[in-house]
Structure 1
Amino acid sequence: MGLLRWLLGRRGNTEQRRQEQKSAREVRGTNAVTSADADSRKQKPAIPSTRGSRAVEPVFKIPPHRRELLFISDADPPISTALMSLVMTADGSLEQSTDDPSTIYVKLPVNHNRPGDIVPKMGYFPSYARMTPEQRWLYLSWLRDVTAPIDIGYVFVYYYGLERHLVHGDFEGAIEEILLLRKHHNQGSFNAYSSAALVHSCLMRKRADVLMRLYQEHGLDYFENSSLLLLHAQGLDLTPDMLLRLVLITQIEGVTKKYVKENIDLFRESLMAILHEDFGRDSYPFAGKYDMSKVKGISYAIFANISLAPEVRTPALPNLLHHKPFVDEVGSFFRRVHEETKRRKAAARKAARLSSGDPIPKLTDE
């Protein structure tokens, strides 16, 4: 029973199997999905090598929308299982290549796991090619329902392919799958990588609408330089929620993050009051305010998939968080909010003391 039938989730007679084999042959001859060509296309499911008892092999009923997000190749798998491996060029020579870690090479064996079988845990920098045959069985079975608990390494292998879609493929489909994974696989490293990828891909795709939906409907708590760049490019101002995130990631003289966190509701009230006092609205004017050509670019890793081109994975983006005019301006604003918060807190304490008849002690920031 081949992967094509597993992915399609069908059982059929001999004629159906012949049609499937014919379809599989039609996609043969295509190249492996490596860093050079996975950016431009997806290959259709093909048939892998399998072992084990065919009588008990289950059908991998992978949902159609998920199947479309998989990168599957019937080309020869990489010669090395290392992160950097050798691939055969058209003239028969070998050259070094960074293989896409999510690519399902159908020529690699898949061993059926029976109840009680011990499958080794995934190591660092996981990939489908580096899995054992037993791990591949577990991974392909898990793709049927990615909400099921599993070692985070398998989640990353699937996620690597979704990152590629964020950049070059089905953006909307990848967004929904990543949100599903984040909901059911709460792990620090995965949360950090996926948060950065979601925001930066919105920047690359110029999809401020998706970014706003991520913040408003899905509680995304990632707010970094890329968020500012997208808002600036799209002509959008900073909302109160964004300002609250910004004050907690920026080093501002005279503003204590611990104090802000401990008095977050009062800080928000003060922030809203000063926004209305200064600008007459519930947002901070930001759109088109800075000349990005004068903002120094800083390179840093955005995506986890090492097969993405360096200019995509580690671009040199203008960094507003290190741009003195921006830092000075928001710093002055937040210091005023901080002082207003202290004033309101003191007034509330004084009112409480007066109502109770107790003496009023000297107040401090603490």
Structure 2
Amino acid sequence: MSLLKRIFGSKKPIESNKDLVVSEKVVLPETKGFIVHPDIHNLLWIVDGPKRNYILEEKEQNVDYGGVRFSFSSYSSLEPSLISINLPVLENVSKENIERPPYYPSYAGLSAAQRNLYWEMLKNPYNGQADIGYVFILYYGLERHLIEGEFEDAYNVILKLRDVYENASFQYYSACALILTCLIRQRADLAYKFYISLDKDFKLDFSDNLYLLCKMGLGLHLTAQDIMRMAKTFEFTNQNYIKKYPELFLKNLSVLMEEDLGKDSLEISKYITSDKFQKLHKQAVPIFANLSIRDQTVDVPLISESFKFKKTANNLLQQAHEKVKKDLANMRKEGFVPLEKKAKRKKELPSFDQKKEEELLQQYNDIDGNIISKHFALIALQNFYYKYREVNGVYLNKCIDYCYEDIQLLPQLQSQYIEEEKKRILMLSSLYSKQELEEKLSAIHAFQGDIPAFKRLAIIYEKSKNYLKAINICNQAIAYYLNIDMHESVREFEKRKKKIEGKI
């Protein structure tokens, strides 16, 4: 099998060990009079009423790829995009008086007034005006279609949404979902469609490694622009000339590539054969933002860690840097130096959103005993206060405090998660034989989710040159991830720790 087919293959339908639980095309309840965009008319999940198309039961899917089996399971009562026609919708409320959706929104969790705004967005989800929380609710349902419903329709809608919503989290999650589902479904044609959609800088706000995987899988070469953009990934740190004189740097890099490689592009597969591809270290990458879809990560080969490949790109960047340095010296002697590219205007510090703070704190304080919900509420608070870290040091300290609180709750989170998994399986015990039930109960494992608090604290302490504290956080993260068998995360923090130790 060629490396191209090994990554994306060709058109190949996904297989499931159970029939899809989709009864018919969705037609919205006429009694409500709601209108939705034609693109998504058949992509909404409805739990009740005459047009119900979603049945509350556990679903599982297994996919074999390259000798590795990916298993996806979900507990449908938790599906965040699920629409109930019995939930009230309140119209004619001023938008200014309606709170924003919470950090991890769901249709059921919206207020009646918020649901009206959600339906307003569904009329035209492409105008780019909706709060990103409503977009995510729609997106969660589209993610479910990527594995068990109208795959290509959902894929195309996500591509269109990526064109108008610049939100970094949305761009990141949607890029991961599209690339990895193409890999799992072996659809090179749709992977190429994703690649040619990357026509705006903000759409590249996702993993460089996944970008490399996409290009390699499609047999595309890296351009000089690609190498410059990913200079940091290739461990080229002195980017002064790239930032100040990008056109001159690009010109020199292109010439050097022609001289050294015989063409103005870098062929990835020349440095990573099928055998080497199999031996690459792997990194756990999230596939879905939708938490009701279990087993949300896939271990993806770290193409950027191939020594020979990375060394080649790094050498080209180093040579281009030296060539630009000489060119500038000669230009100065002749009394001419190209204008430096003006640095982007320094962003104005954001005004502190006290209303949002009160809203997040209220959501956090309203949580009674549910550690999993508290975990996600703490992540929302960490993100919120970190955004205002430069406005006032108090907010950075609050971010740090909530990070530590989240870390302290991890043992309780694990215990509660395992208990809820047991309850979930026992609720569905009638679907299984006694042996199957015992197997499912014995197969319960720890919550293998990324803990953002570890990385955030490590970054905060490293930037403030408090290296010992940063190393201590790395040690905590390594111990935690080792205990729950998240070995790629262990390697990530071991690498981070080694880098920090080199600064002492």
1:239/1:262 Cα in 2 relative to 1: closer, same or farther (>3 Å)?
Answer: same
Per-residue CA deviations over 1:81-121 (Å, capped at 9, x if unaligned) read xxxxxx6789xxxxx93622222233x41223124484333
Q: What's the Cα RMSD here?
A: 3.4
**Pair 1:143 & 2:122 matched:** yes
Aligned equivalents of 1:182, 1:229: Cα separation in 2: 20
**Structure 2: distance between partners of 1:89 and 1:328:** 47
1:181 aligns with 2:164: no
* Cα distance change on mapping 1:45 and 1:68 into 2, 3 Å: closer
1:322–1:125 CA distance, 2 compared to 1 (3 A): same
1:264 maps to 246
Match of 2:267 in 1: 285
User: Does the alignment pair 1:60 with 2:25?
Assistant: no
Among 103, 121, 146, the alignment partner of 2:100 is: 121
Equivalences for residues 87-126 of structure 1 within 5 A: 97=75, 99-106=78-85, 108-116=86-94, 118-126=97-105
Mapped partners of 1:89, 1:195: distance in 2 = 27
**Cα 1:203/1:273, change in 2 over 3 Å:** farther
Identity across matched positions, percent: 30
Question: What is the number of equivalent residue pairs in this alignment?
Answer: 291
Give the Cα–Cα distance (whole angstroms) in 1 for the partners of residues 107 and 41 of structure 2.
15
* Residue of structure 2 in register with 1:153 after alignment: 133
Q: How does 1:44-83 map to 2 (within 5 A)?
A: 44-45=25-26, 59-74=33-48
Q: State the match for 2:478 in structure 1.
A: none
CA contact (8 A) 2:45 2:82 kept: yes
Deviation at 1:166, TM superposition (A): 4.1
Displacement of 1:316 in angstroms is 0.8
Residue 317 of structure 1 and its aligned partner are, at CA, apart by 0.8
Equivalence for 1:236: 220
CA displacement 1:145-178 (0-9 Å, x = unmatched): 1226232211110112223344555454334433
Deviation at 1:271, TM superposition (A): 1.1
* CA separation of 1:203 and 1:260: change in aligned 2, threshold 3 A: farther
Q: Answer yes or no: is the 8 Å Cα contact 1:231–1:287 preserved in 2.
A: no
CA distance in 1, matches of 2:161, 2:58: 36
Q: Which amino acid aligns with 1:241?
A: Q
Distance 2:313 2:91 in 1: 57
Larger radius of gyration: 1
State the Cα distance separating 1:138 from its structure 2 match: 2.4
Asked if 1:314 corresponds to 2:288, the answer is no
Q: List alignment gaps of at least 5 residues for structure 2.
A: 1-16, 50-55, 60-73, 338-504
Question: Cα gap change, 1:47/1:294 in structure 2, threshold over 3 Å: closer, same or farther?
Answer: closer
Alpha-carbon distance in 1 for matches of 2:326, 2:285: 40
Taking the TM superposition and a 5 Å limit, the aligned residue runs for 1:249-260 are 249-252=233-236, 255-260=237-242
The 1:236/1:42 distance shift into structure 2, 3 A limit, reads farther
CA distance in 1, matches of 2:161, 2:228: 27
> Which residue in the other structure is 1:190 paired with?
170
In structure 2, the CA distance between the partners of 1:213 and 1:333, relative to structure 1 (3 Å rule), is same
Once the 2 structures are TM-superposed, how far is the Cα of residue 131 of structure 1 from its aligned partner?
A: 1.9
What's the CA shift string for 1:207-264, capped at 9, x where partnerless? 4421331234787324511121222233322122322222143323xx4134322221
Who is 2:67 aligned against?
none
Secondary structure of the 1:299 match is strand
Q: What is the rounded CA distance, in whole Å, between the counterparts of 1:216 and 1:238 in structure 2?
A: 16
The one-letter amino acid of 1:64's match is P
Report the Cα offset of residue 351 of structure 1.
Answer: 2.6
Contact 2:80/2:140 (CA < 8 Å) preserved in 1? yes
Deviations 1:35-61 (A, max 9, x none): x9897647543677x9xxx8xx6x322
Question: Superposition pairs for residues 30-45 of structure 1, below 5 Å?
Answer: 41=22, 44-45=25-26
TM-score when normalising by structure 2: 0.51
Q: Give 1:163's match in structure 2, choosing from 143, 161, 165.
A: 143
Q: CA deviation at 1:201?
A: 4.0
1:295 and 2:275 correspond: no
Distance change in 2, residues 1:350/1:169 (3 Å): farther
Structure richer in helix, relative to its length: 2
2:107 alignment partner, SS class: coil
SS at match of 2:99: coil
- TM (normalized to structure 1)? 0.68
Q: Is the 8 A contact 2:271 2:309 kept in 1?
A: no
Out of 192-201 and 39-48, give the one that drifted further. Answer: 39-48
Is the contact between residue 47 and residue 82 of structure 2 (CA under 8 Å) also seen in structure 1? yes
**8 A contact 2:27–2:42 mirrored in 1:** no
In the alignment, what sits opposite 1:84? Answer: none
- Unpaired runs of at least 5, structure 1: 1-35, 76-86, 91-95, 355-366
Q: Distance in 2 between matches of 1:172 and 1:318?
A: 26
